[in-house]
Structure 1
């Protein structure tokens, strides 16, 4: 039997069913045919398929060559036995593949059936409750995250205020700091100008102009060398009706001073200022506005 074309490729004879080429039954039935039956089939096919009988068929020669080759395989006892074994192996492989495909199809069908049965077994009411619980849990989680963000935001100081405090240095005593606010229409107050204004109340350690977040107002942080200087600055500037600056302590002052000397010093500044300190500067801005209004009314009465 032919073994190929010499380049590793199989020839038509290698894949051909030689029994079928001769028009004979194949498989187990073909293996039981006698040599005379095979020779008779070959002669009949030769008369029909000879190239001389098919002058207009371009495949006539190749077909006749295949017919002759198949006959040579089947007429030789050894080559016919090898071919029969080859056919059996081919049939067994086809059967095995078919069984495997059938098994896979059955497994797939069984799986689909189990999934349908499981879906049918689920109580619609129970499924609805499960979905509602999932939604409720998701909502609770979102609410908890929202509350956590709000609590964190509430615990953090104002971003710009914190940035200004960080510029003047961490760990400084806030009791020595002043927050100064003014209307931009009143003029442009630079760090050097503010330093000059507050230097008359004591040593000015630092001045930080805050980023302007409004076209109408501006502010700054003034760091004095002592708390006494802070008190003097507030006392002096709150009493000046012509002063365009609103001066407030960065940190509310204690209602009273622990030592006698501090108390006496506080009292020496006058009852009006003492009242403000006693209130802890909680309403200091309102106090300043009230004093400004009183001063304006007094001027009007004089005129």
Structure 2
């Protein structure tokens, strides 16, 4: 008994050797042509020929019936769509696998490079341990000499110069920030510098990064700082309240401000600064150095170094006050 075809797993068009768009006439014509070759009467001793003849017959039966053919075409279309999806999925999976392997190779190479860099760094560290760092040794030697010179040559007034520099002239500026407004509302560092530099050389300005409405201004002279304390009012919307932190001059040497108008006070401050103090726009100039000039130059360099250290102390002081005031 001939075995029935499972049409869901067979390509009936392929069995008959025709395209899916073939007409009924083309289907029957192809059937007759192939059936003549494998007909059982013509091939009595060939079971495969009989089986092929049976498959041709069943394919013809389905493809020449309109309803059966429509049902089969629907199944065939779904199978082809599924096959296409599978190919696309396999292609994406292959691409993903290739990308993953490429990333793993790159990660492996980077790991090898990192390990090589670490070995190189360790080798350099070992070399430094054996040979020593020339710059470090020279710097430490110079530091030792500076300390010896400081001990053996005290200042004329008996006060260490570093201690004198640390006692700089500082005033605090405060302004109120309205509730809900940004912490940067009020004054920027540049605005504060523009305001306070009118009265003399401003060495440092530190604005609180934790507590809004607070800044510390460091002046080069107590008298220019005192003029700023007496004259600076600030913006109308954000009036400034100034107070001394350090370096306030004695009462009998404070500037006499009287009842002069603001413009007169600022002019006096400008004139005083121009004659007695170094203005921000004035820079140190050195030419034709002799032995004494060389020492002055070294003093200026040391002063600039101390100013940098003082700026660091100002920031620490501001952070400490912010923590104490919550």
TM-score, normalising length from structure 2? 0.33
**Which protein shows a greater Rg?**
1
Higher relative contact order (CA 8 A, sep 6+): 2
